[in-house]
Amino acid sequence: MSHVVAIKDQVEAAVQAALSQALPAELAGTDPVVRRSDRADFQANGPLAAAKRAGRAPRDLATATAEHLAASDVDPEVSGPGFLNLTVPTPTIWRQVAARLAANDLGIAPTRHGERTVIDYSAPNVAKEMHVGHLRSTIIGDTLARVLAHLGAEVTRQNHVGDWGTQFGMLIQFIDEHPERTWQGEASMSALDALYRAARAEFNQDPDFADRSRARVVALQSGDAATLATWRELVAESEAAFQAVYDRLGILLTLDDADGESRYNADLPGVVDELVARGIAVDSDGALCAFTDGVVGPDGDPVPLIVRKKDGGFGYAATDLATLRLRVDEYRATRILYVVDARQALHFRMVFDVARRAGWLPDDVDATHVPFGTVLGPDGKPFKTRDGGTVRLTDLLDQAVARARAELAKKDHDLSPEEFEHIAQAAGIGAVKYADLSNTRTKDYVFDVDRMVALNGNTGVYLQYAHARVRSILRKAAAAGIPAGRPVDPALPLHPAERALALTLDELAATLDDVAGTLEPHRLCGYLFGLARAYTEFYDQCPVLRADDDGVRANRLALCELTGRTLATGLDLLGIAAPDRM
């Protein structure tokens, strides 16, 4: 439970106290606005910002603040119009490195402790293969789940699988009429997918089959035993296939996280009845709908949230409402995240609005749609195969692994074939995940395999390589008989590259807090890339194993060790493997 207070936070507290002493009482507690600086370790812009309100000259206020810092650990220098450049004593920085190495989990504080967060992500459809459209929700949701859990939140992952709906009548009827078709067993997902397409084709061209399918929907909904048995086989078959993809992708989801639409069937009539009773849902053109103020369509008419369709079937809004209610009532969630395509924004806005009005979503529970952009093909349009079909997730991963394998094979290595293949998988999968996570979440991005497996630049492979290089040095140190874990000597000088690296290493926790608040994983990617670059600079300028002083070498090995662990932790939170060798 030993968490380490970041140097920046210590500086911030010191400057805030000093600034408060320099200001009139009513302005105490003013934000000191401490940031990293290229002119010193940090800079405080707070005095400049507060000068006007205090009726003081900015430089005077900065000078007064600096004087109040005299007793602190921070060395201030007034600069420019009223900036405060702040330098931290070298021993403080070395001690911070030592403290993070000694602490559990790099000294990261559990800032999300006490929160109960439900994360809804992935959501594939039974009897359909996972395709590129599932990639982002699955990857982003998993990373958010990891980060929030790492910060102490109680995270419930939920996979809202599409396991119910009218298409199952069609599918089951087709299976019933074509007992000769095999669709179960090994690698059956493409068979199941083909079955779905065949059933859909027959449904569209044969009205009699369509009628029988509709009757089968009724049988399914009324609990007909044989129909339900086939349905269960379909679900089980699909879930096994999903799990294979999750395992390959390194996604945390398991069967225990399944929260399929079918789970809510019995709740739907109650949801609709309650909305009607409260006057929130009203009849509109034969359907039961709720409306949100200010939401209108092209013709100026209000846009409905359809909870029950004209034919008596329930809209998916009804399921979403039932799900939301359960997450609040049963799971006692304080935060509910929906990692879903940005195109669903209006839907979620209306669902949340209706749930608030119905009293199912209290004000102290935060429900957030976490939208993301579309994966585009080389032509800049939504990614499709050449013939316009959906791109299968497994094909995408195969392609990335093949490219990663080819790239890695170009390099000399002494890995066994098994080890090489294992690393190629890690690199290819990691490349896909990193490419997705490193872009601003809400933007579309082009799926470009060549760029994502590049060994240079802001890629997953580059970070994995940076980590492997760190581990290599530590291995060599051990092999050379250099004792590990020798204490850091805070009295030794800090090379500028060491200083920059150490201060960057101190920022992981703040970065994770940022990700947890903004729900933007690319901030963690940017941090790790910056860390890898800071390490490269250090590696270039500061000999480690060949340092001519034992103490210097020990301190540098400590920086290597902390860099390695920080990179490994960051990559793990992105769901990306960090092999020791590449």
Partner RNA sequence: GCGCCUGUAGCUCAGUGGAUAGAGCGUCUGCCUCCGGAGCAGAAGGUCGGGGGUUCGAAUCCCUUCAGGCGCACCA
The residue with tokens 């509109």 is 284
The residue with tokens 């500028």 is 496
Among positions 24, 80, 114, 389, the unique one binding RNA when judged by CB under 7 A: 80
Residues from 313 through 332 that contact RNA (CB under 7 A): 313, 315-316, 319
Among positions 39, 178, 181, 232, the unique one binding RNA when judged by CB under 7 A: 39
Residue 222 CB contacts under 8 Å (≥ 6 apart), including other chains: none
- Least distance (Å) from RNA to the CB of residue 104? 25
Q: Which is nearer to RNA, 155 or 432 (CB)?
A: 432
Residue 368 CB contacts under 8 Å (≥ 6 apart), including other chains: 335, 336, 337, 338, 519
With CB under 7 A as the contact rule, which of the stretches 39-47, 114-122, 150-158, 388-396 interacts with RNA? 39-47
With CB under 7 A as the contact rule, which of the stretches 100-108, 148-156, 201-209, 309-317 interacts with RNA? 309-317
Q: Which is nearer to RNA, 334 or 555 (CB)?
A: 555
* 274-to-277, 279, 305, 316, 555 alpha-carbon distances in Å: 5, 8, 15, 16, 66
With CB under 7 A as the contact rule, which of the stretches 151-159, 325-333, 359-367, 435-443 interacts with RNA? 435-443
CB atoms within 10 A of CB 276: 16
Q: Which is nearer to RNA, 52 or 178 (CB)?
A: 52
Helix, strand, coil percentages, rounded to 5, for the chain: 55, 15, 30
With CB under 7 A as the contact rule, which of the stretches 136-144, 177-185, 517-525, 564-572 interacts with RNA? 517-525
Q: 503, 516, 491: which is closest to 115 by C-alpha?
A: 516
Q: Is 456 in the site for RNA (CB under 7 A)?
A: yes
Q: 582, 580, 579, 578: which is closest to 420 by C-alpha?
A: 582
With CB under 7 A as the contact rule, which of the stretches 15-23, 43-51, 233-241, 357-365 interacts with RNA? 43-51
Q: Which is nearer to RNA, 155 or 477 (CB)?
A: 477
Q: Is 388 in the site for RNA (CB under 7 A)?
A: no
Residues from 524 through 553 that contact RNA (CB under 7 A): 526, 529, 533, 536-537, 539-540, 542-546
- Least distance (Å) from RNA to the CB of residue 182? 27
Q: Look at residue 305 and give its three-state secondary structure.
A: strand
- Least distance (Å) from RNA to the CB of residue 113? 23
The torsion angles phi and psi of 79, rounded to 5 degrees, stand at -145, 150
Q: CB of 74 within 8 A of CB of 28?
A: no
Among positions 476, 483, 485, 493, the unique one binding RNA when judged by CB under 7 A: 476
Residues from 352 through 371 that contact RNA (CB under 7 A): 371
Q: CA–CA separation, 251 vs 253, rounded Å? A: 6
With CB under 7 A as the contact rule, which of the stretches 159-167, 178-186, 228-236, 481-489 interacts with RNA? 159-167
Residues from 262 through 301 that contact RNA (CB under 7 A): 284-287, 289, 296-298, 300-301
Q: Is 181 in the site for RNA (CB under 7 A)?
A: no
Q: CA–CA separation, 238 vs 42, rounded Å? A: 54
Q: What is the DSSP annotation of 121-163? A: ----BTTS--BHHHHHHHHHHHHHHHHHHHTT-EEEEEB--B-
* 88-to-37, 41, 500 alpha-carbon distances in Å: 12, 7, 12
Residues from 436 through 455 that contact RNA (CB under 7 A): 438-440, 442-446, 451, 454-455
Q: Is 495 in the site for RNA (CB under 7 A)?
A: no
